[in-house]
Structure 1
């Protein structure tokens, strides 16, 4: 962004330098992209700082990860892998609005999201991590001349090294169509269930009970999804269903509880089959999966059920903490 700063000293000769000329020296000032373009209410939760179109369906997006975050906390001295997932989500939303012309106010439905991280590149340094996200869009679907959905693939690099890769598939629809699809579900405030008690934070890799998204039901491999719509990060703004990032966090916490030891999630592969409603209990179930033959870690399948119907499924690979 080029913006005039009249009070700044101009590094040039002569006394007739215009305000515009003054601004040219300060082209590298950094700010976040508009929060509306990434569907966030809080500026503090915007990870992205810039973007550029490289070709028709190829883009680069700049982002910054803080050294510390109130929810995406450091894990084993590394940036939380879920901050990579949130960065990929935000990048897809940004491009949909800023480059493909989808109006603000449209609703997005994520069908799947996968993320794979390289733990050695995620180490927290002495400054915030500046990362570059290479985005490629494919299977672009149009409704008339407007984007209706697509799949995008992401490669996140830090200092030129691949820190994470991921992909997602989504569709989007206007507010009027969304209201017809959801019916009276949009009146979420009147329908959400009472908040349930959390499991012990240390059992799911958390410090604060506020950040726990599982409640005990007396089964070591099954829990109730704990939905706290007052949470300032997971519920950054009012919604009429459980956000996908809450479900990813539930998958991470269920995997940690099942394995019974601190681990770093290095791979997520998630499907979102239906909206997870606020007015019905959601049971979270975790089970071990056979060894995949790689050295990435142990695999866990986490499934969410509402009314005994699967609503989301996530395969999580958990690696032990480094020595």
Structure 2
């Protein structure tokens, strides 16, 4: 019996992906351009990296680690909806996401504009016929060449279950966040940004400590109402803390691991801390953690070499 042909969901690399399939509102923030099903557990997601997206590039035009994580996030959500049959409106709870990539491939002007993400699904569980949890493993390819890997773990739930889990915050948290006073940011250029509204840190009480801040009116960081700080905002804050810690030296990590143990709420201060460990000739490890209500709520680990290129 001949093998079943590969079925492309979207043939053209310029095709439009429905923004809802990657949980984005604005077209400019949608990174995938197409998806091809290889089999029930394997897909290829063609992706475009925009060189002029100020959230994902530094002052020199290099791509930030957050672009790799966001590409993986969107690719996995697209596969879950379009390939695995998760209905629109279901909520995704990401407990961990990671990537390892050659940092030289993120440097302007040679950084790729287009790449393919090969997504394989593992440890897939269902509830009432709908995926309820999964592990995704991702390989990043440019013109067939592997430039990195990544993946993550997530749970999937209906909107009803999510509302019960959040105990009323889905109805009140966003309105309260819009009305809450926003602490003044650290100087915009100290974190490698160009707009105050993109700064995710406010001054803390001691060196290496800051307060998490997020301008919820900034559509780049919050493109739709939310009831907690999105993981990508936490990653923004971690990258900005790294920019301060590295004091003008290039921050070009080869890997990033995002681990979230609890939702980070809008209505309670969250302290961000950075701890850099460097070993001569062996690179560095930078741990950025968030603490809220006396507990650690997230950790983002960056690893890299002291010199790149």
Q: Output the TM-score relative to the length of structure 2.
A: 0.89
Compare 118-127 and 277-286 and name the one that shifted more: 118-127
Measure, in 2, the Cα distance between the counterparts of 1:249 and 1:28: 32
Compare 200-209 and 271-280 and name the one that shifted more: 200-209
Query: What is the CA distance between 1:76 and its match in structure 2?
Result: 4.4
Partner of 1:62: 46
Partner of 1:306: 292
**Cα 1:230/1:318, change in 2 over 3 Å:** farther
**Cα 1:163/1:122, change in 2 over 3 Å:** farther
1:204-263 CA distance string (max 9 Å, x none)? 222222211000023111100012111111101111000010011111111221232332
Counterpart check, 1:182 vs 2:169 = no
2:193 equivalent among 206, 210, 214: 206
**Cα 1:95/1:241, change in 2 over 3 Å:** same
Counterpart check, 1:171 vs 2:155 = yes
- Structure 2 residue matching 1:238: 3-state secondary structure: coil
Runs of 5+ consecutive residues of structure 2 not aligned to the other structure:
1-10
2:245 equivalent among 244, 251, 258: 258
- Structure 2 residue matching 1:303: 3-state secondary structure: strand
Partner of 2:258: 270
Partner of 2:276: 288
- Structure 1 residue matching 2:63: 3-state secondary structure: coil
Partner of 1:195: 182
1:92-126 CA distance string (max 9 Å, x none)? 10011111111111111000011122122223448
Partner of 1:218: 205
Asked if the contact 1:68/1:74 (under 8 Å) is kept, the reply is: no
Compare 168-177 and 263-272 and name the one that shifted more: 263-272
Q: List 4+ stretches of structure 1 deviating above 3 A.
A: 74-77, 123-128, 318-323
1:116-155 CA distance string (max 9 Å, x none)? 2212222344897110001111111111311001010111
Query: What is the CA distance between 1:74 and its match in structure 2?
Result: 4.3
Measure, in 1, the Cα distance between the counterparts of 2:22 and 2:236: 19
1:252-305 CA distance string (max 9 Å, x none)? 1112212323322332112110011111111101112364x875x321111101
Query: What is the CA distance between 1:34 and its match in structure 2?
Result: 0.7
User: CA-atom RMSD, angstroms?
Assistant: 2.1
Q: Choose 1 or 2 for highest CA Rg.
A: 1
Measure, in 2, the Cα distance between the counterparts of 1:161 and 1:121: 11
- Structure 2 residue matching 1:82: 3-state secondary structure: helix
Asked if the contact 1:268/1:314 (under 8 Å) is kept, the reply is: yes
Asked if the contact 1:75/1:264 (under 8 Å) is kept, the reply is: no
Query: What is the CA distance between 1:66 and its match in structure 2?
Result: 1.5
Asked if the contact 1:107/1:175 (under 8 Å) is kept, the reply is: yes
Partner of 1:30: 14
Measure, in 1, the Cα distance between the counterparts of 2:305 and 2:16: 32
**Cα 1:67/1:190, change in 2 over 3 Å:** closer
**Cα 1:95/1:294, change in 2 over 3 Å:** farther
Query: What is the CA distance between 1:83 and its match in structure 2?
Result: 1.1
